[in-house]
Amino acid sequence: MAAINWFKFSSPHSFYPLAGRMMPWFLAASLLLSIVGLYVAFFVAPTDFQQGESYRIIFIHVPAAWMSMFIYLVMAGWAGAGLVFNTRLSGMMARALAPTGAMFTFLALWTGALWGKPTWGTWWVWDARLTSELILLFLYIGFLSLTAAIEDERRADRAGAVLALVGVVNIPIIYFSVVWWNTLHQGASVSLKSAPKMATTMLIGMLLMALAFWMYSIAAALLRVRSIIREREPRAAAEV
């Protein structure tokens, strides 16, 4: 049995064309799923009897919040792989993912504020989830500014990788500290935990949108990693 060479596509040279072939498919899947998901969200899912129509922003908000956390984990995974195997592509992937993750974090906060105003009567509460999402945005900004400030790209990748790993160790600590802080300082003005049972169509709409965001994130990361390869290793990009 021939051993599979797992590292074949870890070289930018062989990954560049692969990324180019995969990217349109992920983009198309993302568009298709968004259209279906938004149709379900706006026309099929029933109106919520408590929140009215304003609840429909959760079809963007919840998937964006999921992606914001998941992308940080994937980014840290790439960062760790880059430090362990010393592969150039891993650092590029981590940096290609970061802007998308930061964008979803911001989107989750923004849509959360838009949802909070009609529902809770306030744009912002110092709820544990909101606060830790805000801190996640700070962590993304730290990663982006550190990698942007270092001119040597390899050093930037590796320094960013250390920061991403330190961040990933800290995320659970930060989350629990914020939960504790929240329970100490204010009564549970808002509880997201006891969410009422969702209608099936609402759940389907949300899952479709989550899948659409997944596909979008992959497509965006592939596109961005191709740009990074072109910028840093024009030869790898030119030969194909």
Partner 1 sequence: MSIWASIVQRDLRIAWRRRSDALSSLFFFVIVVSLFPLGVAPEPSTLRLMASGVLWVAALLATLLSLGRLFAADHLDGTLEQMLLAAEPLWLVVTSKVFAHWLTSGLPLVLLSPLMGLQFGLEGDEIAVLSGALLLGTPVLSLIGSIGAALTVGLRAGSVLLALLVLPLYIPVLVFGAAASGAFASGLTVTPHFSILGALLLASMALAPLATALALRISLE
The residues that touch partner 1, with contacts defined as CB under 8 A, are 83, 135, 138-139, 141-142, 145-146, 149-150, 155, 158-159, 162-163, 165-167, 169-170, 173-174, 177-178, 180-181, 184-185
Residue reference for tokens 């935990």: 193
- Do the beta carbons of residue 237 and residue 30 sit within 8 Å? no
Cα–Cα dist 239/11, whole Å: 14
Q: Which is nearer to partner 1, 47 or 170 (CB)?
A: 170
Output the smallest distance, CB 124 to partner 1, in A: 17
Q: Which is nearer to partner 1, 161 or 222 (CB)?
A: 161
Output the smallest distance, CB 154 to partner 1, in A: 9
Cα–Cα dist 77/98, whole Å: 12
Q: Which is nearer to partner 1, 178 or 210 (CB)?
A: 178
- Do the beta carbons of residue 12 and residue 89 sit within 8 Å? yes
Q: Which is nearer to partner 1, 14 or 177 (CB)?
A: 177
DSSP annotation of 122: S
Please name which of 89, 68, 90 lies closest in space to residue 79, comparing C-alpha atoms: 90
Residue reference for tokens 């072939």: 21
- Do the beta carbons of residue 77 and residue 58 sit within 8 Å? no
Count of alpha carbons within 13 Å of 165, Cβ hemisphere only? 14
Please name which of 121, 99, 80, 128 lies closest in space to residue 225, comparing C-alpha atoms: 99
Phi-psi region of 152 (alpha: psi -120 to 50; beta: other; left: phi over 0): beta
Cα–Cα dist 230/16, whole Å: 9
- Do the beta carbons of residue 97 and residue 217 sit within 8 Å? yes
Q: Which is nearer to partner 1, 184 or 238 (CB)?
A: 184
Q: Which is nearer to partner 1, 130 or 219 (CB)?
A: 130
Q: Which is nearer to partner 1, 23 or 103 (CB)?
A: 103
